[in-house]
Structure 1
Amino acid sequence: MIETIVFDVGETLTKDDRQWAAWADWLQVPRHTVSALVGAVVAQGGDGQDALRLVSPDMDIASAHQAREAAGRGEHLGEGDLYPDVRPALGSLHKLGVRVIIAGNGTARAAELLRDLDLPVDLVVTSGDWGVAKPDPAFFTRVLEVAQAGPRETLYVGDHPAHDVFPAKQAGLRTAHIRRGPWGHLWADDPSVADAADWQIGSLTALPALMGH
């Protein structure tokens, strides 16, 4: 029986549209250019930072993050960045007595912004808080520490096979792959994902029905 559900952040709970648009504006290229490059590198198995390096090969992304913050153009996260099923699904799980955690890759600032949204969750942490990022197995060791449940009683929900489903499965957790965002849609029908995921879902509202499993 599932006692704890842990959620990835980007393209599981939040849309990445604003993030890529902000980077395009900062790099002074059309927003469609960055969006198209993200799609291209996803199809090749890369990630969004690879797309930024295609636009600006010499850019140090960490330094660029700091420069954006200093210019008042740093990270932002608001209610409109949440997928519409997030609050209803998290609220329903909380009412069922499930421990609900948000734990994904992101800066410590991203964690602060998520906490400011006052979502119905027990804990919000990011890789920036922990100093270790997915898919490092140590990230999922930390997940299990805060889950307060055994691996088979803990469900990790995410869109990215290589960052979410596969490493969580290797750590012994149960997994749900959501068909959402570029990674979620692209890999949804891949046999390896179907084999690794305990469940494949199209909406977070499907989760409460799984709690007896």
Structure 2
Amino acid sequence: MNDTAPSYGLWSLVVVNSAIFIFFAYTFFKPQTARDWRSFSAFSAFLVALFAEMYGFPLTIYFLSGWLQSRFPDVDWFSHDAGHLLEMMFGWKANPHAGPFHILSFVFIGGGFILISAAWKVLFDAQQTRSLATTGPYSYLRHPQYVGFILVMFGFLLQWPTILTLAMFPVLTVMYVRLARTEERDARAEFGDAYARYAADVPGFIPKLSRVFGAATGGYRHG
């Protein structure tokens, strides 16, 4: 890292990174109802809060600076790399980007966006024919897009945890679960027994290990 470069106050990077990730999420989520927009707005707020601390102002570092400095006196907590709190606290001080938490964060973030993308294609095709989405990710989970958003947020928390985003994470998770329940009621009303059979076989948010590891091949099969 170049010592002459500013660690924070890079508000242009806050705007650019927030805009890119929010737009990417929008292209796959495509909110329609007021409930959709509230959930999407909350996710967008999570991203803005994250990047504001990552590049703008390190509120969490300032808030915890006394405790952090007393426990880890050899760390320059106001350097940019120190924002990777987990890597710093567990000893990856030289290069936090090569630390296990940082690498694992990319697995969750990348996996989450891949899941959102794959699920949207299946859902879009099903909407065109007014049929039930049961193939691809929907053969493992009833709500893969929401699971994808949760994975993305969790990945960012591993990479750059902040007090605000840690507080927002459970709130957003509950919002997605509630939105999923509302959508299930609509699906039951529209598809009746077909959705009831599908819901009885496919979990909502946590996939069956037997299905993940190959017990089920292809898409969900109607009984």
The answer, yes or no, to whether TM exceeds 0.5 is: no
Question: What is the TM-score when the length of structure 2 is the normalising length?
Answer: 0.25
More contact order relative to length (CA 8 Å, sep ≥ 6): 1
Query: Between Structure 1 and Structure 2, which shows a larger proportion of strand residues?
Result: 1
